[in-house]
Amino acid sequence: MAEKKMVNAITDMDEDFAQWYTDIVKKAELIEYTSVKGCMAIRPYGYAIWENIQKILDGMFKETGHENVCMPMFIPESLLEKEKDHVEGFAPECAWVTVGGSEKLEERLCVRPTSETLFCEHYKNIVHSYRDLPKLYNQWVNVVRWEKTTRPFLRSREFLWQEGHTIHATAEEAIEETERMLNLYAKFCEDALAIPVIKGRKTESDKFAGAVSTYAIEALMHDGKALQAGTSHYFGDGFAKAFDIQYANKDNKLTYPHQTSWGMTTRLIGAIIMTHGDNSGLALPPAVAPIQAVIIPVAQHKEGVLEKAGELYDRLKKAGLRVKLDDSENSPGWKFAEYEMRGVPLRIEIGPKDIENGQCVIVTRHNGEKSFVKLDELETAAAEKLQAVHDGLYRKALENRERRTYACTSMDEIVKVLSEKGDGFVKAMWCGEEACEDAVKEKTGVGSRCIPLEQEHISDTCVCCGKPAKHLVYWGKAY
């Protein structure tokens, strides 16, 4: 019966990328749909990826001096309204609690779409003196945004995330924090998820509601669409003024502090799928793979095979790998396909012949490469192979991005290159005017993704209006 559940039912990614994505999240058992539109049940295999993401990121936050806290999930309407831009940005997508128990509430409560307002209220209670600064906080929570169209991980009404919130004595410190966290996010994506990213600043029209400036990391998916993988906001003292947060500085003068916030979400799992996956299924970066190596005994009914497979399992487990031994009754062929689908970085095969030769076979998921490994070199070989998978995934993703990044000097060129070569990042110069930003989107279909921190000079003039250019911008279609 289990044998029926073969993996060849995934849609071809080049035929229908959206359906391929949906097939993967369901068939690799990452999520299951629920009767609540836009809210998903995250299944053990999907949640284990998130746990690994959490563990690594949380360690990085703590190393940089951040502490975890937990604010309430409800925001009274009057609190949300205190910062004008912020409420304008978020109110349209809030879910509202209006009844508690059997009584209608006097004031509606919004289910947090983000928690700046709650942190501000808290800061006002606990920040009084320069000695109380900085506060470097983070929380791992669920948030709700009432999206109209939803897709698992990429855009769901409820999602899981971390939101960092910090408050500093000076603008300089807050700006430094904003940049530190952007860099930390980029490093995490590259080192843990094997996803290369572009670090940049969002244009004015694309900023977070209430921010002075918003920074983001942008990744390019397999299909050439961009995905914003993390954001880091600098707020100046705008929220402090709106919430009347002041501290006594060293001269005992009341002063407005400066704030930041930054976040990454379960959307990263979507980014992993669309960056590394292929027509055999998921391909997981070793750092966050729930299973890093699966051991599959071949001819397991033969004497000594299961015993030897068990030995390998014990050794790899002891070496610190997340390893699984599948000694179920399914055929090796079925197992090969199943763990490919699930994106397990290494498959280790061991059969009677291998035992005779004092070896096993290691197959790396991302390229299907097969190696014979001496049994007494198992631990070293497995570690090297995991590194090779990480490096291979990263290289492949980077090559995809480079192949799909087009420098353009005119709108016509943008339209032409996209229609000829398919979606991707367009690098083009911009004068800084919102009208031109809108015109590029309307006429070419690609919107501004970010103003990269690493600027290049492609031409002197704005790709739209021909006036002097101020910035190089990455443009693209976005998830």
Q: Check residue 361 and give left, alpha or beta (phi > 0: left; psi -120 to 50: alpha).
A: beta
Asked if residue 458 binds its own copies (CB under 8 A), the reply is no
Token pair recorded at residue 93: 């997508």
449 neighbors 224 (Cβ within 8 angstroms): no
The distance of closest approach from Cβ of residue 50 to its own copies in the complex, given in angstroms and rounded to an integer, is 8
The distance of closest approach from Cβ of residue 18 to its own copies in the complex, given in angstroms and rounded to an integer, is 22
Considering only residues 190 through 219, tell me which ones interact with its own copies, judged by CB under 8 A: none
Asked if residue 368 binds its own copies (CB under 8 A), the reply is no
Query: For residue 447, what are the contacts with CB-CB under 8 A and spacing of at least 6?
Result: 206, 437, 440, 441, 475, 476, 477, 478
Separation between Cα atoms, residue 24 and residue 6, nearest integer Å: 13
Span near its own copies by CB under 8 A; candidates 64-72, 169-177, 299-307, 426-434 = 64-72
Asked if residue 69 binds its own copies (CB under 8 A), the reply is yes
Separation between Cα atoms, residue 101 and residue 80, nearest integer Å: 23
Separation between Cα atoms, residue 61 and residue 59, nearest integer Å: 5
Nearest Cα to 182, choosing from 152, 168, 202? Answer: 202
Q: Which is nearer to its own copies, 100 or 468 (CB)?
A: 100
Token pair recorded at residue 227: 């995905």
Asked if residue 430 binds its own copies (CB under 8 A), the reply is no
Separation between Cα atoms, residue 314 and residue 319, nearest integer Å: 9
Asked if residue 6 binds its own copies (CB under 8 A), the reply is no
127 neighbors 135 (Cβ within 8 angstroms): yes
Asked if residue 94 binds its own copies (CB under 8 A), the reply is yes
Asked if residue 65 binds its own copies (CB under 8 A), the reply is no
The distance of closest approach from Cβ of residue 239 to its own copies in the complex, given in angstroms and rounded to an integer, is 16
Interface mask (CB under 8 A) for its own copies, residues 72-91, using x and -? xxxxx--x------------
Asked if residue 383 binds its own copies (CB under 8 A), the reply is no
Query: For residue 413, what are the contacts with CB-CB under 8 A and spacing of at least 6?
Result: none
Q: Which is nearer to its own copies, 136 or 426 (CB)?
A: 136
Q: Work out which of 158, 173, 327, 433 binds its own copies, going by CB under 8 A.
A: 158
What beta strand segments (E) does 307-379 contain? Answer: 323-325, 346-350, 359-364, 370-374
Q: Work out which of 141, 417, 439, 458 binds its own copies, going by CB under 8 A.
A: 141
Separation between Cα atoms, residue 291 and residue 343, nearest integer Å: 9
Asked if residue 161 binds its own copies (CB under 8 A), the reply is no
Q: Which is nearer to its own copies, 140 or 336 (CB)?
A: 140
Asked if residue 96 binds its own copies (CB under 8 A), the reply is yes
Asked if residue 60 binds its own copies (CB under 8 A), the reply is no
Span near its own copies by CB under 8 A; candidates 100-108, 229-237, 368-376, 469-477 = 100-108
Considering only residues 19 through 48, tell me which ones interact with its own copies, judged by CB under 8 A: 32-36, 39-44, 47-48
Instruction: Indicate the helix (H) or strand (E) that contains 336.
Output: helix 332-341
Q: Which is nearer to its own copies, 72 or 368 (CB)?
A: 72
Instruction: Indicate the helix (H) or strand (E) that contains 31.
Output: strand 31-33
How many residues interact with its own copies (rule CB under 8 A)? 58
The distance of closest approach from Cβ of residue 79 to its own copies in the complex, given in angstroms and rounded to an integer, is 6
Phi and psi at 39, nearest 5°, equal: -115, 130
Q: Which is nearer to its own copies, 185 or 243 (CB)?
A: 243
Token pair recorded at residue 99: 């009844």
Interface mask (CB under 8 A) for its own copies, residues 101-130, using x and -? xx-----xx-x------x--xx--xx--x-
Asked if residue 56 binds its own copies (CB under 8 A), the reply is no
Residues paired with residue 105 on neighbouring β-strands, in sequence order: none
353 neighbors 332 (Cβ within 8 angstroms): no
The distance of closest approach from Cβ of residue 317 to its own copies in the complex, given in angstroms and rounded to an integer, is 14
Query: For residue 16, what are the contacts with CB-CB under 8 A and spacing of at least 6?
Result: none
Separation between Cα atoms, residue 196 and residue 191, nearest integer Å: 9
Contacting residues toward its own copies, per CB under 8 A: 1-2, 32-36, 39-44, 47-48, 50-51, 67-76, 79, 92-102, 108-109, 111, 118, 121-122, 125-126, 129, 131, 137, 141-142, 144, 146, 148, 157-158, 160
